[in-house]
Amino acid sequence: MQSKTRHSASPTPSTNDTPLPDDPALLPAAAELFRLATECEEVAELLRGVLPALPETIDADYVALAAAVAGRWSVAAESGKAKPLPIDLLAEVLDRERTGTDSGWVAVPLTSRSEESEALVFHLSQTENSDKALAAVERLAPIFHRAVTGVRRRADDRRRLHRLEAVLEIAAQWNQAREVEPLLVQMAEAATRLLQADRASIFLWDRPNHTLVGRPALGAPDGELRIRDDRGVVGEVIRTGRPRRVDAGTEPEAVDRRVDAQLRYKTRTLLCVPLRGRSGELFGAFELINKQEGTFTKEDEEALGELAEHAAVALENARDRQQLLTANSQITKEAAEKVRLIGQSPAVEALRSIIRRVADTDLAVLILGENGAGKEVVAQSIHYLSRRRDQPFVAVNCAAIPESLAESELFGHEKGAFTDAREARAGKFELAAGGTLFLDEIGDLSLACQAKLLRVIEERVLVRVGGSTPIHTDARLLAATNQNLAEMVREKRFREDLYFRLNVVAVELPPLRGRGEDILLLVEHFLDDFCRRARRKTPKLSAAAKKRLLEHPWPGNVRELRNLMERLAYLSTEDRIEAEDLAFILSPRGQAPPAADLDQSLADATTRFQSEYILQQIGHSGGNMSLAADRLGLHRSNLYRKMRQLEMETHSTSRIGVGKAD
């Protein structure tokens, strides 16, 4: 015969108020429950201690914490021999929010939330004592409630802490990722491991094409799943911006079975949360499929939400890094394409061979040759063929730096190191970190600066002027000069130990006058380039003009030729260049500079005269800037300063001076 359900007279007391039972016989049980509540780590452990602690009036052989999700009851924790749950009684006590009894069962409602409900249920050994048991359970109900809630809260806090630690550890690993594709795989693996799911995918929203691209996607071609952004649970999350949990058993229509068919997989449970960028804009979703045991919970949703926050940041960072690397790679590629050793002469072919052999080493290279022969182009070629190609190339003309500032320029300085040091500044070695530092005209460094340079080369450590902190440097060093360093060593004007450090590999550039037909190849290259900039058709050179160019001694080497082609591109008006058209800029040695245009102002005529005169002196000096400066009655650094004032090319200190001849 089915018993009639009976309920206590008053609602279950609030969890905020836990009075002691008024029956002295229940006090020992209450005290034991309080002790269990403070010592137990999990609810299951608490329930194992409850049965022995119950008073004789509650003669129970089974106790369980029952939970209902979406109306479906299950056992969350239990103690004693398992029995089928009294579903009707549980539903009724939750509906009435009062303790009740029926057919040897006593149930205590704990929560009655819309999504999840919980109750403590006892099975009595003697059903005839159900009224006394109901009364006793009713008096102990607040303590039961507080004990379960307290233990649950502590257990939840511990799990949340462990989960947070795991999430932070995972996020730290993600933030080290450099590429998006491997990062997506890492994210899926971490999420399935942490939340005990079978599969995971990260969907990135291709908004213009109304498409969601999911990766990784097992069973899909190339591991990539593409669906419309208005389909399935993922589409719903994208539309609403809210998380979604689905149990296919209760919501079969929510699962897109077309995707299951495509992946040859059956979805039982699903959890999906949105991905938002730094600005809050939604750009995708993080999806888990098939909880390994049971269904996805609110706690799982919170955990995946935390993972999604870190995933969004890591994805944006990786995407930014990829874009920067792509842009940098493109810039490097374009820069490398502009740095070309033009020529087919045996000397140039031999030079190319040496460059290829030394490029991907870290050996010091000393580049020798006349001024304007292309020493910086050789240095750049070595850099762009090396594994350092994506790092800085920093070129320094040592002759153009005043002696008093050379150390600061190379090694940097701290604020207040000298009168004009208003702020700290990194030197060229620091700017070239990971890349290549090219020291042109190395022979013009003072002996004091040479000593400091030697120490940096040997120890790979520098100290800024006015500072004391050692700074590691890993820049590769290339040096160049048009002087005879061996002779300077004998004359005690250059340190022998530094000379041997720099002269590990010596590369000697041939002068332009010794390169034969390469002259015409360079003429064609520079003339095409400057005519393109001048937006005009490239003029043709007559046979006589070519002969004149081949006969010219080119004291300024490639730089002189380049400047000549620039003038022709902008000043010549004909489509064909004859030998006589070159007379005004290819003067024989010893000939006076051309007369000034009488339509010019005195200032313009003076500027032109000075420029032409300086060029003539450089030509007469065979491109030797020190000799030219001496003939002009100037210090070499003052000559460079004068050339800058006249807007003449000085080959001064520069960052990546692409395409300029030395």
Q: DSSP states of 338-393 as a string?
A: H------SHHHHHHHHHHHHHHTS---EEEE--TTS-HHHHHHHHHHTSTTTTS-E
Half-sphere exposure in the Cβ direction for 127 (13 Å, CA): 11
Cα→Cα distances 96→14, 89, 608, Å: 14, 11, 104
Long-range contacts from 122-128, C-beta under 8 angstroms, 24+ separation: 122/54, 122/58, 122/60, 122/62, 122/63, 123/60, 123/61, 123/62, 123/63, 123/80, 123/83, 124/58, 124/59, 124/60, 124/61, 125/59, 125/60, 125/61, 126/59, 127/3, 127/103
pLDDT at 592 over 70: no
- CA–CA separation, 41 and 45 (whole Å): 7
Q: Which of 385, 343, 346, 344 is nearest to 365 (CA)?
A: 385
In this prediction, residue 16 has a pLDDT band, given cuts at 50, 70 and 90, of very low
Q: Supply the pLDDT for residue 655.
A: 28
**Is there a domain that residue 302 lies in?**
yes
Cα three-residue angle 101-107-112, rounded to 5 degrees: 130
Residue-wise pLDDT for 606-640, tens only, equals 888 888 888 878 877 767 888 888 888 888 888 88
The answer, as to whether pTM is greater than 0.85, is no
**How much of the chain exceeds pLDDT 90, in percent?**
32
Same domain, 522 and 646: no
Q: In terms of pLDDT, which residue wins out, 654 or 398?
A: 398
pLDDT at 455 over 60: yes
**Is there a domain that residue 163 lies in?**
no
Domain stops at, among 123, 156, 189: 156
Q: In terms of pLDDT, which residue wins out, 194 or 601?
A: 194
Strands, sheet with 197-206, edge to edge from the N-terminal-most edge strand:
225-228, 211-215, 197-206, 282-291, 269-276, 244-247
In this prediction, residue 350 has a pLDDT band, given cuts at 50, 70 and 90, of very high
Cα→Cα distances 18→140, 148, 150, Å: 9, 13, 12
Q: Supply the pLDDT for residue 173.
A: 81
φ/ψ (deg, to 5) at 392: -65, 145
Same domain, 431 and 529: no
Same domain, 29 and 118: yes
Arithmetic mean of pLDDT over the chain: 83
**Is there a domain that residue 169 lies in?**
no
Q: Which of 615, 616, 558 is nearest to 370 (CA)?
A: 558
> Which domain range does residue 275 map to?
175-323
In this prediction, residue 659 has a pLDDT band, given cuts at 50, 70 and 90, of very low
**Is there a domain that residue 167 lies in?**
no
Q: In terms of pLDDT, which residue wins out, 17 or 237?
A: 237
pLDDT at 418 over 50: yes
Write out the two tokens for 184: 């997506």
**Is there a domain that residue 334 lies in?**
no
In this prediction, residue 37 has a pLDDT band, given cuts at 50, 70 and 90, of confident
Residue-wise pLDDT for 565-579, tens only, equals 988 888 888 899 988
CATH number (domain holding residue 43): 3.30.450.40
Q: In terms of pLDDT, which residue wins out, 69 or 31?
A: 31
Q: Supply the pLDDT for residue 18.
A: 53
- CA–CA separation, 28 and 251 (whole Å): 48
Q: Supply the pLDDT for residue 652.
A: 37
Residues in a beta bridge with 49? none
Place of tokens 């030219």: 628
pLDDT at 78 over 70: yes
In this prediction, residue 381 has a pLDDT band, given cuts at 50, 70 and 90, of very high
In this prediction, residue 658 has a pLDDT band, given cuts at 50, 70 and 90, of very low
Residue-wise pLDDT for 228-256, tens only, equals 998 889 999 999 999 999 998 888 888 88
Domain stops at, among 586, 615, 643: 586
Q: What share of the chain is helix, strand, coil (3-state, %, to 5)?
A: 50, 20, 35
Q: Supply the pLDDT for residue 549.
A: 92
Same domain, 192 and 311: yes
Cα three-residue angle 202-204-205, rounded to 5 degrees: 145
Same domain, 85 and 184: no
First-to-last alpha carbon distance for the chain, in angstroms, is: 109
- CA–CA separation, 67 and 137 (whole Å): 19
Q: Supply the pLDDT for residue 654.
A: 31
Same domain, 357 and 416: yes
Cα three-residue angle 100-101-107, rounded to 5 degrees: 60
Return the amino acid letter for 198.
D
Task: Please count the other Cβ atoms lying within 10 Å of the Cβ belonging to residue 214.
Answer: 24
**Which helix (H) or strand (E) covers residue 64, if one does?**
strand 60-69
Same domain, 348 and 486: yes
Q: Supply the pLDDT for residue 582.
A: 81
Q: Supply the pLDDT for residue 322.
A: 73
pLDDT at 590 over 70: no
Write out the two tokens for 155: 């257990």
> Picking from 10-19, 142-151, 575-584, 614-623, which range would have the lowest pLDDT averaged per residue?
10-19
Highest average pLDDT, of 32-41, 414-423, 439-448, comes from 439-448
**Is there a domain that residue 161 lies in?**
no
In this prediction, residue 54 has a pLDDT band, given cuts at 50, 70 and 90, of confident
Task: Please count the other Cβ atoms lying within 10 Å of the Cβ belonging to residue 485.
Answer: 22
Same domain, 491 and 532: no
Same domain, 295 and 237: yes
pLDDT at 11 over 70: no
Q: Which of 374, 287, 252, 331 is nearest to 651 (CA)?
A: 374
CB 185 within 8 A of CB 178: no
Count: domains in the chain: 4
- CA–CA separation, 529 and 460 (whole Å): 41
φ/ψ (deg, to 5) at 596: -75, 150
In this prediction, residue 147 has a pLDDT band, given cuts at 50, 70 and 90, of confident
Q: In terms of pLDDT, which residue wins out, 255 or 496?
A: 496
- CA–CA separation, 321 and 309 (whole Å): 19
Q: In terms of pLDDT, which residue wins out, 586 or 629?
A: 629
CB 554 within 8 A of CB 519: yes
How long is the chain? 662
- CA–CA separation, 265 and 218 (whole Å): 9
Residue-wise pLDDT for 461-478, tens only, equals 999 988 888 999 999 999
CATH number (domain holding residue 528): 1.10.8.60
pLDDT at 519 over 60: yes
Q: Which of 4, 115, 120, 119 is nearest to 58 (CA)?
A: 120
Same domain, 121 and 91: yes
Half-sphere exposure in the Cβ direction for 567 (13 Å, CA): 14
Domain stops at, among 535, 563, 586: 586
Same domain, 498 and 536: no
pLDDT at 401 over 80: yes
Q: Supply the pLDDT for residue 290.
A: 93
Residues in a beta bridge with 163? none
Longest dimension (CA), the chain: 133
Q: Where are the alpha helices (DSSP H) in 413-495?
A: 428-431, 447-459, 485-490
Same domain, 65 and 92: yes
Q: In terms of pLDDT, which residue wins out, 310 or 16?
A: 310
Place of tokens 């109304």: 210
CB 355 within 8 A of CB 365: no
Write out the two tokens for 205: 């929203």
Phi-psi region of 618 (alpha: psi -120 to 50; beta: other; left: phi over 0): alpha
- CA–CA separation, 659 and 378 (whole Å): 10
pLDDT at 103 over 80: yes
**Is there a domain that residue 232 lies in?**
yes
CB 558 within 8 A of CB 340: no
Cα→Cα distances 156→33, 43, 153, 291, Å: 20, 11, 5, 19
**Is there a domain that residue 626 lies in?**
yes
Q: Supply the pLDDT for residue 7.
A: 55
Q: Supply the pLDDT for residue 332.
A: 62
- CA–CA separation, 339 and 650 (whole Å): 19
Q: Supply the pLDDT for residue 610.
A: 85
Q: In terms of pLDDT, which residue wins out, 322 or 341?
A: 341
Question: 3-state SS of 202-255?
Answer: EEEEEHHHCEEEEECCCCCHHHCEEEECCCHHHHHHHHHCCCEEEECCCCHHHC
Residue partners of 332: CB distance under 8 A and separation at least 6? 384, 389, 390
CATH number (domain holding residue 636): 3.40.50.300
pLDDT at 660 over 70: no
> Picking from 132-141, 255-264, 278-287, 477-486, which range would have the lowest pLDDT averaged per residue?
132-141
- CA–CA separation, 476 and 92 (whole Å): 81
